[in-house]
Each structure stands twice: as structure tokens, then as C-alpha cells.
Amino acid sequence: MTISKHILKFEVFMLSFALTLLSCGSLKEKVSKSQRPNKVKITIKEKAKDKWIVKYDLPVAERAVVFHRQINQFRQKEWKIKTPGLKFKLIDNQECIFSEDESFDQFEVEFESYFDHTPKDYEFFRKFSDGGRLIYTGHLYVHPVQVKHQNLFYVDEEVQWKQSLYASTPSSPVMKWEDKSLKGTYLFLGKTKPIDSNRVKAYIDQEIPRWIKNQLNHFFPKLVQYYNLKTGHDLSFKPVLYFDYSKINRPGTSYSGGTLPGLVQLSIEGRGWHRKNNENTETITKFFAHEVAHFWNGGMFNNNDSRAAWLHEGGADAFAFKALLDLGLISKLRLKQNFERSYNFCRSDLNSIPLNMSSKLRRYKNYYHCGAFIWLTLDKVLRNQNSDMYAFWEKLLNKAKTQNGKYNSEDFHSILKNEFKQKRLSELIFELEWEERGRSEYWLEQIAKYAGIKPLSDPENLPPEFSSKFYQNLISSMMRKDCQGRVDVYGHGSVFKVRGNETCSILKKEEYVFVGAQGKSFGKGGGQLLREIESICQEKGSLILNYNDGRESVKLACDSDDSESPQWYRLSGM
């Protein structure tokens, strides 16, 4: 009896001791994880013009690393790994660098400046006319890949490293960037000297037409002052602005841009920008106004619901339309036309899907068009109760201020229902966002009807820009058939850039810039060209697409699926 008691006491002691060891081991593991090095050092050097070598120093040795940004997976094709034993590999369908044998804590890659369009992401490189280069750092970031078993790997998006980047060229000093947010930034390496004022530090391409520089100088401070007043929130930082011009011998105009913490990046292309006219003046100023609006709904405050990107992208468009009206650049009639444009593009491009599913189908423009329609409709409703959309935004940003600068769709609906007493409008917008029974057109009409607006079919007054959308869809559809499902079409106005690839039967060139069909310009062909295309495609014929300023052409097969006539609606009751 005494012996068994001693044995029992010994077993209890050993169990307690084991548990203590386990808990200490667990604590040690937690401490080691929290103290583990987690910063990557990335050194990028230009060894010759537009030829770069990048060295990575990892905080710990790994069998694989995954690139932070994956929307456009161009690295396998464009980069060369210099470190022996490493190769590119897709893990969980994400671009990684992988070692078959042992872990690595350093590696080098080499590549040329990548100027290709990266849809719905920041351009990797932008050219300045003086030879300078603007580099987006986010495409370089890497994180560890997790190991389940010896040769089974997976990407855990929760495990991420901080990034420390050093960039230089033979003619410029080393620039350093520490990134804890992982949003990336643009680094400028070149001779262009910034224009440094009280409101902004600006790097302006020397080749940008003077009238555009003057327009920027005139309207930028006015836009900041206007948004300060209308949102009730003063801009809390001095932004950096990068503005480049691709001087290419191409007709028409195009533009692109984006914002990152503390900066805005603007780009324009096309020889059409040398003409100062009403259309170009409105377009460029609306472009400025949209991007500057993102200092508030994307800079100081952020939408953290990516499915509801219409909140900030459509919001920035609505900001821009209202700013141009209030600053005297457009008339009320032009605002109405922009309202109609937003409605029609939204209706056409949604094509029966829920708004918040747009990104899954890569229909990103829905967030701009549908979002602008929602915000302008809301503005009309609120003005009937002596308020407006800016009063709504002030409350939304006040809410974000209490949530670490974040807002989302739930906040939008809560404010709309509880503070502005618009429960029914909230319900209609929610259905447009989420209802999956193919009734997006119905919900758009109901939102319009709630605001006292009636859409009326108006096929005889189809605007050129809506025809442009039809042409882009047409080219995309024909390319999809010619290139085994792969589509790379980027267009603006009456010019459409197509990147051919090895899977195509006909579109094999690296780039085509299509400007017309059947010998007629996309910009001037009008209804006659639309009817001719419809006739050819209904007969399953071949359509002649003209490129190289119309001097060359290709023939692509089309059918009735490619040529559905676009519909346009006029909004009555505005």
C-alpha cells in the first residue's frame, strides 16, 4: 500500500514535470517565432540601360518563396534566375521560386525593364522622356512558402515578411524604401528634378504638352481645396506626383493612373494630347479629379472590402463629375450625360451578374460605372432632403476614423439606413450587389425609379464611346477564338492594343494597334460600320481589322455571338 502510494506520487510528479516542459517548449516556440527575423533585403541595380539585376537576402533560409503580387504572372517568362539550383514553380497557382534540394537564403534574378500593361495592377516600369525610370516596388516583394511535408508546399497569405529595398542606377544615388504595409511604392530613378511646392512634390515629364501642365497647375490646388471642404477632412499629407508621357506615333489619346500611400502616378499616351480642345480638356481634368479623390477614399481612408470596390472607384468618378461641375468646367447637361454614360456602361457590362462578383470575371470597369451611377443617384435622392453625397461621405469617413481608417459596404448600408433613413434604397443597392438570379438590369431600373429617373431606349443616339466598348468586346471575342481562349486587349477611344501570343493562329505578332475595320475608322465609321460588321458576322464571315494607322490588316472569323448590337438608354427625370 505504501509502495503504490509512492509510485502514484512519482507518476503525478513526472506528469507535472512533463507538462511543465511542454508548456516551456510551447512558450519558447512562441517567443522564437515573434523574435524570428522577418525582413527581406532587396537590392536592385541597373547594370546597363533597362537591364537590371536584383539580389534578395532572406531573413531565414527557405525551400521556396512566393511573390506578393500575383494578378499578372509575367516573371516566369521575363525573368532569369542567376542562382544555380533554383527555378520558377507554380504553388497553389501562385508564382514562386523553388529549390528542389536545399533551403536558400540568397538568390539573384535578372530582367529587362518591363513596360507591358499589367491589367488591374500597377505598371512595373514607366518611362520618362529624359531616360528616367519609375519602378513599382510591389512586383519585387517575396514571402516564405510553407511546408506541410518534405515535398508538399502551400502558400499561407498570413505569413509575410517586411520588405527593405535599395535601388540605384549608374547615374543616380541609392534610393531606400522600407515597406511595412506591403502596398509598395514608386521609386523614380532619373534626372528629372521635382517641382516642390507647399501642396505637392511633382515629377513632370518634360515632353508633356504645355497646356496639360498648365491645366494641372491650375486645377490641382483647386481640387485639393474643394475636396477638403466637401468631405470635411483636410488632406493630412503632402503628396508626391509622378506624371509621364509616352511619346508614341499613335492617333487618339489614352491615360492610366493610380494612387499609393502618399503619392499619385499619372500616365498619358497618344499624339492626340497635343491638341487642346474641349474634349481633351474635360478628359484630362476628370482624370486628375478622379485620382486626387483617392487621396481621401484610398489614401487617408481605405475601403477594406475588395468585393465592393465600387465604393471607392465609383466614388472617385462621382467626386470628379461633381467637382468639374462645381468648378465650372462642365455644365449640368454634361453632368447628366455622364450620369447616363455610367448607367448604360453599368447595364451593358454587368450583363446579368451581381455587381460584387465583377472581379471574379475580370469585369473591373463595372466598379467605376456602376459605382458612379449609385453615388450620383444617391446624390439626387439626398438633395431632395437638403443634403448630398458629400454629406454622406463625411459621415462614412468619420466612421472610418474610428476604425483605423477603414470602411466597407456594411458601413455604407448602415449609414444609408440609420442616418439618412433610406432603407428601401439600401435594399435595392444590396440586391444589385449580391442577387444571383440574373436580374441586374431590373435592380438598376428599380434604383433609378426610386430616384424618380426613367430609362428610355434611344438606339439612334449611340455615343462614340459606347460604340468603342462594342468594338473592344468584338475584338476580344474574336481573339478568344483565334488564341485558344487567351485574350489581351487594351483600348481607349478608337484605338485598341492587342498583344498576340504563341497560341494564336493569326494574331502572332507581339503587338497590334487596331484603328478600324473594313477600311473604316472605329472613330468615324458610325452606324454604317456597325451595320456592316453585324451583316458580316451574322453570315459567319471574316472581318478585316486594320492596324498600323490603317496601312496593314488581318482577317479574323466572327459570328452572330460577336455582333450583338449595343443598346443605349436616355435617362428621363433628371
Is the C-alpha dihedral spanning 434, 435, 439, 445 positive or negative?
negative
Dihedral pair phi/psi, residue 223, rounded to 5°:
-65, -45
Q: How far apart are CA 570 and CA 553, in angstroms?
A: 36
User: What does the pLDDT read at residue 425?
Assistant: 97
- pLDDT of 7 above 80: no
Bigger pLDDT: 159 or 59?
A: 59
Which residue matches cell numbers 531565414?
60
Mean pLDDT score, 471-493: 86
What 3-state class would DSSP assign to 250? coil
Q: What pLDDT band is residue 22 in, cutting at 50, 70 and 90? A: very low
In tens, the pLDDT along 440-463 reads: 999 999 999 999 999 998 877 778
**b/e per residue 99-118 (b: at least 16 CB within 10 A):** beeeebeebebebebbeeeb
Percent of the residues in the chain that have a pLDDT greater than 70, as a whole number? 92
Q: Is the dihedral of CA 410, 413, 418, 419 positive or negative?
A: positive
What gap in Å lies between CA 470 and CA 529, rounded to an integer? Answer: 12
Strands (E) across 240-366 are located at: 240-246, 254-260, 263-269, 302-303
pLDDT digits (tens, 9 = 90+) for 272-286: 899 999 999 999 999
- Given 3-state DSSP classes, what are the helix, strand and coil percentages for the chain, each rounded to the nearest 5? 40, 25, 30
Phi, psi of 486 (to 5 degrees): -85, 130
Instruction: Tell me what pLDDT residue 433 has.
Output: 95
- Start-to-end CA span in the chain (Å): 97
How high is the pLDDT of residue 154? 79
Residue-wise pLDDT for 392-437, tens only, equals 999 999 999 999 999 999 999 999 999 999 999 999 999 999 998 8
Q: Which of 57-66, 167-176, 183-192, 459-468 shows the lowest per-residue confidence on average (mean pLDDT)?
A: 459-468
Task: Please tell me the predicted confidence (pLDDT) of residue 246.
Answer: 85
- Using one digit for the tens of pLDDT, what is the confidence trace for 325-346? 999 999 999 999 999 999 999 9
Confidence grade of residue 34 (pLDDT, cut at 50, 70, 90): very low
**CA–CA dist 152, 568 (Å, integer):** 53
Write out pLDDT tens, residues 232-275: 999 999 999 999 998 777 777 888 898 998 999 999 998 889 99
Residue 165's DSSP bridge partners are 42, 177
Residues 6 and 9: their CA atoms lie apart, in Å, by 5
The predicted-structure confidence for 552-570, as pLDDT tens digits, reads as follows: 999 998 887 766 667 889 9
Mean pLDDT of 307-336: 96
pLDDT at 35 (0 to 100): 55
DSSP 8-state assignment for residue 206: T
Chain-centre distance for alpha carbon 19 = 52
Q: What is the pLDDT of residue 386?
A: 95
**Residue with more model confidence, 130 or 147:** 130
The answer to which of 4-8, 183-187, 265-269 has the lowest mean pLDDT is 4-8
Helix (H, G, I), strand (E, B) or coil at 26: helix
Length of the chain: 574
pLDDT of residue 36: 65
Is residue 569 a contact partner of residue 459, using CB atoms and an 8 Å limit?
A: no
pLDDT of residue 570: 92
State pLDDT tens for residues 534-549.
889 888 889 999 998 8
Looking at residue 149, its pLDDT comes to 67
- pTM comes to 0.80
DSSP 88-106: EEEETTEEEEEESSS-EEE
- Number of neighbours of residue 86 by Cβ within 10 angstroms: 19
Q: Cβ atoms within 10 A of the Cβ of 125, count?
A: 18
HEC string of 491-558?
Answer: EECCEEEECCCCCCCCCCCCCEEEEEECCEECCCCHHHHHHHHHHHHHCCCEEEEEECCCCEEEEEEC
> Does the structure show a pLDDT above 60 at 3?
no
Region 116-135: mean pLDDT is 90
Stretch (H or E) spanning 446: helix 440-450
Mean pLDDT of the chain: 88
Distance from C-alpha of 42 to C-alpha of 182, rounded to nearest angstrom: 14
In whole angstroms, what is the distance from residue 202 CA to residue 572 CA? Answer: 43
Q: Is the pLDDT of residue 49 over 60?
A: yes
The confidence band for 231, taking pLDDT boundaries of 50, 70 and 90, is: very high
423-432 own/partner pairs: CB under 8 Å, 24+ apart: 424/450, 425/378, 425/381, 425/450, 429/374, 432/354, 432/355, 432/370, 432/374
Distance separating alpha carbons of residues 205 and 272, to the nearest angstrom: 17
pLDDT at 467 over 60: yes
Residue 20: is its pLDDT beyond 80?
A: no
Q: What is the pLDDT of residue 9?
A: 44
